[in-house]
Amino acid sequence: MKKKNGYTAIDLLVVIVVFGVITFFTISKVSYALSDDKSELYNLEVKYIETQAQAYGNTKKEEIKGKSTTVTINHLINEKYLEADDKSGNIYDPRDKTETLNNKKVKLTYDEATDSIKAKLQD
């Protein structure tokens, strides 16, 4: 009998299928990890905005006592409590870079127990 060199079509097909399965699982895991990172970035951005709004509110504490008020992110940028992502004065949503957060409102309320201002981003 003569010895054959090379691979058969079935050998090549098996290798292609195995690589396809590995690629499918790798891409799905990577895309899940990236989407999870974007959500985490958004949560961090919201926390930062609320912290800066709280700092702004503490400077206006006497005006806010006894009532709640809202401020826009644009107002916080204009008052230099937040820094814009671009020269146009926009802060972009990390989950979707085409959307801005500028028109979102932050609710400021006075907490008598701690004598401080609480801030919550309104969705």
Q: What token pair was written down for 121?
A: 């981003």
Rounded Cα gap, residues 7 and 13, in angstroms: 10
What is the distance between the terminal CA atoms of the chain, rounded to a whole angstrom? Answer: 77
The Cα 46–Cα 120 span in angstroms is 9
Give pLDDT tens digits for 18-33: 999 999 888 888 777 7
Q: pTM of the entire structure?
A: 0.70
35 pLDDT higher than 70: no
User: How large is the average pLDDT for residues 28-57?
Assistant: 85
Residue pair 105/72 in contact (Cβ under 8 Å)? The answer is yes
The predicted pLDDT at position 3 comes to: 67
Query: Tell me: the pLDDT tens digits for 56-103?
Result: 999 988 888 888 899 999 999 999 999 998 999 999 998 888 899 999
| Domain range annotation of the chain | 9-121
Q: Are residues 55 and 81 in contact, defined by beta-carbon separation less than 8 angstroms?
A: yes
